[in-house]
Amino acid sequence: MSYLASNKRYSSMEYRFCGDSGLKLPLISVGLWHNFGGNSMSTEAKKILFKSFDAGITHFDLANNYGPPYGSAETNFGKLIKSDLGKYRDELIISSKAGYDMWDGPYGEWGSKKHVIASCDQSLKRMKLEYVDIFYSHRFDPNTPLEETADALESIYRSGKALYVGVSSYSAKKTNEMIKILKGRGVKLFIHQPSYSLINRWIEKGLTKTLINNGVGCIAFSPLAQGFLSNKYLSGIPKGTRVSENSSFSKDLITKKNTQIINDLYKIAKKRGQSLSQMALAWVLNNKAVTSALIGVRTVEQLNENIDALKNLKFSKSELYMINQKAIEGDINLWAPSSAH
Ligand code: NAP
């Protein structure tokens, strides 16, 4: 039987306007980078998406190469759109991106107009969509003029293949340049998708100011530092985790020093009545530049725990002070662009 969404789906989620636009995003959004690829979507993965939407999570984030193999998360998501979620299309904000390696040859990655437009067309086909809500340039390309990448984004926007356009992991400097170029073409840079967590603060060194000053929204990816900011790595590396599976999160980051930091942070979370992941999400959302925290989850249990973070979003001054004392020592800076970019 086809999925039917809960009729209570808008009863508890909070939404924030994305920058100075009229579009609201849920405080928590779900990304399909891990756990949604392969030949078909697992039962648990489907449940995650259904339970997310039941909880008012209207935004799902994808990219051309999410899988593995590349493209399979979009293909699987497209099947779900056809079978179950399509009837809610007007309630969903779906995003995709182009820029990382996707297919062989000189046009399979980066920021050329050729790559970005072809990739967007491929994503739409895989997801069986006429348009995505947001389309991103996934990374700054130092070998392509920014005007050309902007040209591709403008073309995608004007052709109606995306309602809004964004950039991901661009530095403050390149974001400023992109804002100006797009503005000159009558297009608004709608959103930035940077990595951000309480142990990864690079956006605070200029980017957040740029976004606020220009009314650009911000969706923070890896707010749990890929799961490091959860209770599970407090005393080792459990099985069935990204680290134990040698996945995108390297065990080199699980140093003695970093483990001490998360244990210290956990003590603060516990006093707030939260798990470490709940405090980490609440903390990201405490930054007024941030529109939404973009999480990944492996299980419905993780999803539910993370949604419960919304029950306590307030921090006292002393909590924030203590968190800063502990967390800044970590400063892992995953995906932070170099200052030249
Ligand atoms: P994340 O939320 O920081 O990490 C997700 C991982 O944390 C999960 O797979 C799980 O790891 C663990 N986790 C989540 N909730 C947990 C809980 N309550 N307890 C214990 N562990 C928990 O985010 P992410 O997956 O790195 O990134 C989220 C999304 O951001 C992606 O899906 C993608 O859409 C986007 N993203 C974008 C870029 C970009 O370049 N623009 C890059 C990366 C990600 P285990 O699987 O180990 O259990």
Give domain status of residue 5, yes or no: no
Give domain status of residue 61, yes or no: yes
Range of the domain at 32: 15-330
Q: What is the pLDDT of residue 244?
A: 86
Give the Å distance between the CA of 185 and the centre of ligand 1.
35
Instruction: Print pLDDT tens along the chain (341 aa).
Output: 899 999 999 999 999 999 999 999 999 999 999 999 999 999 999 999 999 999 999 999 999 999 999 999 999 999 999 999 999 999 999 999 999 999 999 999 999 999 999 999 999 999 999 999 999 999 999 999 999 999 999 999 999 999 999 999 999 999 999 999 999 999 999 999 999 999 999 999 999 999 999 999 999 999 999 999 999 999 988 898 888 888 887 788 888 888 999 999 999 999 999 999 999 999 999 999 999 999 999 999 999 999 999 999 999 999 999 999 988 766 666 666 655 45
Q: Whose CA is nearest to atom 16 of ligand 1?
A: 302
Give domain status of residue 337, yes or no: no
Ligand 1 atom with least separation from CA of 241: 47
Ligand 1 atom with least separation from CA of 232: 20
48-76: pLDDT as tens digits = 999 999 999 999 999 999 999 999 999 99
Ligand 1 atom with least separation from CA of 335: 40
Q: Is the CB of 306 under 6 A from ligand 1?
A: yes
Q: What is the pLDDT of residue 1?
A: 85
Give domain status of residue 7, yes or no: no
Q: What is the pLDDT of residue 340?
A: 46
Give the Å distance between the CA of 296 and the centre of ligand 1.
3
Rounded Cα distance between 287 and 150, Å, is 28
Ligand 1 atom with least separation from CA of 299: 48
Q: What is the pLDDT of residue 335?
A: 62
Tell me which of 134, 239, 297, 301 to substitute to probe ligand 1's pocket, judged by most ligand atoms within 8 Å of the beta carbon: 297
Q: Is the CB of 221 under 6 A from ligand 1?
A: yes
Number of folded domains in the chain? 1
Give domain status of residue 340, yes or no: no
Give domain status of residue 172, yes or no: yes
CATH number of the domain where residue 224 is located: 3.20.20.100
Give domain status of residue 8, yes or no: no
Give domain status of residue 341, yes or no: no
Q: Whose CA is nearest to atom 18 of ligand 1?
A: 302
